[in-house]
Amino acid sequence: MENLKLEATRYTPAISFDCERHVLEINGESYPENIAEFYAPVFSWVEEYLEQLEDQEVMVNMELIYFNSSSSKILLDFFELLEDASSNGKRITVSWIYEEEDEDTQEFGEEFQEDFESLKFNLVQKNS
């Protein structure tokens, strides 16, 4: 399969999913008007990737400066896919990266962390 690379726009994040290095990165802001349209190809890529993944270690780096409430639902769906894969023995680590004084993004990270059991979910504070 091929890597997925989408450039950031003013209201969609950069997507950089690398199936050779096993690094998946989402970076930027997410508040599109039509959320399903933007994320559909992202989800199909991840589903296909998890299907063919063996025992390689996968790093998922999430660095979102801002996301709206419908993106928050999409993120939950995304982490649920990863949680299911983790329960089936896949080795996945999520890093939730936030700026030092951004309490809201930190809190969102903590809330996601509470929601998952098998998935390794780390909170990473960036020093600005």
Partner 1 sequence: MLKNLYDFKKDLNRRGVFFCFSGPVSQELLVEIGATLKQKMRLEETRNSTALRVFSMVVEQAQNIIHYSAEKCPKDNDNPPTENAEELSIGIIAVGYEDQHYFVLCGNRIRNQDIGRLRERLVNLQKMGKDELKKFYKQERRKGPSPGSRGAGLGFIDMAKKASKPIEFDFRKIDGNFSFFSSKTVI
- Name the site residues for partner 1 (rule: CB under 8 A): 10-11, 31-35, 65-66, 68-70, 72-74, 76, 99, 101-104, 111, 115
Residue linked to tokens 């994320």: 39
Would you say 52 or 127 has its CB closer to partner 1?
Answer: 127
Q: Which is nearer to partner 1, 26 or 58 (CB)?
A: 26
CB of 115 to partner 1, least distance (A): 7
Identify which of residues 17 and 98 has a Cβ nearer to partner 1 in the complex.
98
Which residues share a beta bridge with 18? 23
Min dist. Cβ of residue 48 to partner 1 (A): 23
What would the two tokens of residue 102 be?
């951004």
- Sign (positive or negative) of CA dihedral 77, 80, 84, 90: positive
Cα separation, 65 vs 63, whole angstroms: 7
Give which of 23, 31, 112, 38 is closest to 67, Cα–Cα: 31
Please enumerate in sequence order all residues whose Cβ is within 8 A of that of 46, keeping only pairs 6 or more positions apart, or say none. Answer: 17, 24, 78, 81
Element (H, E) at 5: strand 4-6
Nearer to partner 1, 17 or 63 (CB): 63
